[in-house]
Copies of this chain bind each other. A is one copy, B any other.
Amino acid sequence: MTASGPTVTSLQRATDRPGDASPFALGLLLRRAHDRAAAALVEALRPSGLELRHFAAMIALVEHGSMSQRELADALLGDKASMVRVIDDLEDKGLVRREPVPGDRRMNSIVLTERGLSVFDEVHLAAAPIHEQLVSHLRPGEADHLLDVLTRFTHPDL
């Protein structure tokens, strides 16, 4: 069925001018795009029992070496209280360790374990074909270009 009646033509003036997409279009598209990508990546993570926020922390640790929980929380836009539980989960699975920081006993230095390292690599390799399938209907080079533009979009200060 369709409940659609005739479109109110006076409304069109704000949306139907060519090249004048809704200022909300970008945000709504980004939400759908994220939902689609996240659903695929969650599948890649399922065998490891990890969730996206856990793996995001592991990626940050690979990129930056060991980090404090505060640094991880800031980098991943979460609050420090949420990060405690993420690290708890990863530590319970033996993927990271909390180590003392010489010179400041308030802080933990979070480091990947050997097991965390191999799990990271396994997930990483298993996710590659999933990513490929995710962008397989785009034209050649568009996926890389998308990554490039999104990187600069998310860093307006650079």
| Residues of A that sit less than 8 Å from B by CB | 1-8, 10-15, 19, 21-38, 40-41, 44, 52, 55-56, 59, 62-68, 71, 77, 101, 104, 107-112, 117, 120-121, 124-125, 127-128, 130-132, 134-135, 137-138, 142-147, 149-154, 156
From known contacts A154-B32, A156-B137, infer whether A128 and B23 are also in contact, taking CB-CB under 8 Å.
yes
Q: List 15 A-B contacts (CB under 8 A).
A: A1-B104, A7-B65, A8-B65, A11-B120, A19-B144, A23-B44, A24-B56, A24-B124, A27-B37, A28-B56, A29-B150, A31-B38, A33-B154, A36-B154, A146-B149
Contact A26 B131 (CB under 8 A): yes
Known: A2-B67, A23-B127, A24-B127. 20 other contacts (CB 8 A): A1-B107, A3-B107, A8-B117, A10-B117, A14-B121, A14-B124, A21-B144, A24-B41, A24-B52, A24-B56, A26-B37, A26-B135, A26-B150, A30-B34, A30-B150, A36-B153, A36-B154, A36-B156, A138-B149, A146-B153
